[in-house]
Amino acid sequence: AIDADMDSVTRAIAHGSLMGARGNSGVILSQVLRGLSSAFAEVDAVDGRLMADGLVAASTAAYGAVMTPVEGTILTVVRESSEAAAVVADGGGDLLAVAEATRAAGDQSLARTPELLPVLADAGVVDAGGSG
């Protein structure tokens, strides 16, 4: 059995995702994971507050990795999901409540991507990167 702390595991996941990234969304996802890894660096367990803070850090890292961020993409889905997580955590929500709010906000954000990016609306699709 391998005995690894959360920091080592999350850093390895972030690094692996960057090395294996394909396309813009892959690189952006690796930065999302890097942001989460940074937030989890000094802890052994994650609660709702830390998850929300990690998701906000992940969103910030993702936007920082893109020279010209475009709304209606994975960036929007990550940002709106992290904002929902923060609202629930601010209200005292536990990890499950934060995770559920994050998922619901992500689904809603993804459904709106064609409204924000006309090329998606023209094709009748949602953002593939945001779909994950």
Q: What is the pLDDT of residues 34-51, one digit of tens each?
A: 888 888 888 888 999 999
C-alpha atoms less than 13 angstroms from C-alpha of 20 in its C-beta half-sphere? 8
pLDDT reading at 18 higher than 80: no
Residue 10 lies in a domain: yes
Please state, for a pLDDT cut of 70, what percent of the chain lies above it. Answer: 97
Exposed / middle / buried, residue 91 (Cβ in 10 Å: 0-12, 13-18, 19+): exposed
Find the domain containing 50 and state its range: 6-131
Between 14-18, 32-36, 56-60, 93-97, the lowest mean confidence (pLDDT) is in 14-18
Per DSSP, 67 falls in state S
Q: Are 121 and 115 in contact (CB under 8 A)?
A: yes
Residue type at 14? A
Q: Is residue 1 part of a domain?
A: no
pTM for the full predicted model: 0.88
What are 35-93's pLDDT values in tens digits?
A: 888 888 888 889 999 999 999 999 999 999 899 999 999 999 999 999 999 999 999 99
Q: How far apart are CA 65 and CA 51, in angstroms?
A: 21
Is residue 123 one of the residues assigned to a domain?
A: yes
Among 15-19, 96-100, 125-129, which range has the highest average pLDDT?
A: 96-100
pLDDT tier at 3, thresholds 50, 70, 90? low
Alpha carbons 121 and 81: distance in angstroms, whole number:
21
Instruction: Name the domain count of the chain.
Output: 1
